[in-house]
Amino acid sequence: MAGGLFFPDNDLTAEDHFNQGLDCYYRHDYGRAITCYSRAIRLAPQNPNVYYNRGHARRHDGDLGGAIEDYTAAIRLAPHAIDIYYERAIAHTQNGDLHEAIADYRRYLEACDDDLCDQARDDIEQAIHELHGQLGHA
């Protein structure tokens, strides 16, 4: 997005739409971000980053089912990008899909092997414990 102006769709590349989506997302204009990311996906359907980011926008816009679909599409395209499992676990939790959330948190922990993961491990294990508790009371 140059100078804050949106250009006609036919003049923009997938990267342009993606960047517009980022700009809208950071301004909390999630509906417009979703539109921009969707345009980028039409032009570059094999880019997992676009699905990942549209998933964020959808989750913040309250479309948890759409967010989960986008995170799932991103995982299909980039199965080793473990952060996607973490984000999908959050969406599953917010959507009340607690078994799926636990499974994604576990996938994240199993694949995670760096210092950042070690720092988050206790928090994630606590979240899993709390989700199990919710399942016991459901």
Q: What is the pTM of this model?
A: 0.83
The domains of the chain, with CATH numbers, are 9-63 (1.25.40.10), 80-138 (no CATH)
Render pLDDT for 36-81 as a digit per residue (tens, 0 to 9). 999 999 999 999 999 999 999 999 999 999 999 999 999 999 999 9
Contacts of 41 (CB under 8 A, 6+ apart): 14, 47, 50, 51, 54
Render pLDDT for 105-119 as a digit per residue (tens, 0 to 9). 999 988 887 766 777
Q: Is 2 helix (H, G, I), strand (E, B) or coil?
A: strand
Note the pLDDT of residue 37. 98
Q: Is 42 helix (H, G, I), strand (E, B) or coil?
A: helix
- Among residues 48, 13, 130, 11, the alpha carbon closest in space to that of 122 is found at 130
Q: Is 5 helix (H, G, I), strand (E, B) or coil?
A: strand
Helix 82-95 and helix 115-137: axis angle, to 10°?
20
